[in-house]
Amino acid sequence: MPRTAVIDAATPRSHLPFSPAVRSGDLVFVSGQASVDDTGQIVTDTFAGELARAMGNVERILASAGGSLDDVVQVRCYLGRWEDRDEFNQLYPRYFGTPYPARTTTAGGIGDLKFEVDVIAHIPTEGADR
């Protein structure tokens, strides 16, 4: 199945060699999103602030693909510090409702970032049933 990049004026940019998201059929694979601005520069903030900016980037990318957070079926979350897991679990339901998407959460290995996330969404192509 061919793959196409999901890129438009609304998707955040990166100076790194990857697409913000790739569509393959009805699946959209969103690359890791963190607290970065529209130019790809890291914006440091509290844990909650970095989480909100990263999830906002995911929302914008999914909207560019014709979907929303409601279409997410898999979430992979990366915490900068395992100590932030309780706050993360309290904030998570602001973004995803029941039934929650499948989820993996790990900590460490993301440099100075406090949070990073990538998702897989099922967004039917135009004309297909949702």
Any idea what the CATH number is for the domain that residue 101 is in? 3.30.1330.40
The Cα–Cα gap between 36 and 46 comes to 13
Q: Look at residues 50, 25, 14, 33 and name the one whose alpha carbon lies nearest to residue 123.
A: 25
* Percent of the chain with pLDDT strictly greater than 90: 75
Q: Would you say residue 108 lies in a domain?
A: yes
The Cα–Cα gap between 67 and 64 comes to 7
How many domains is the chain partitioned into structurally? Answer: 1
Please give the pLDDT value at position 18.
83
Q: Would you say residue 130 lies in a domain?
A: no
Q: Would you say residue 129 lies in a domain?
A: no
Check pLDDT > 90 for residue 15.
no
Domain that holds residue 14: 3-122
Instruction: Give the mean model confidence (pLDDT) for residues 75-86.
Output: 98
Instruction: Give the mean model confidence (pLDDT) for residues 94-115.
Output: 96
Buried b (16+ CB within 10 A) or exposed e, 97-125: eeeebeeeeeeeebeebbbbbbbbbebee
pTM of the model: 0.91
Q: Would you say residue 37 lies in a domain?
A: yes
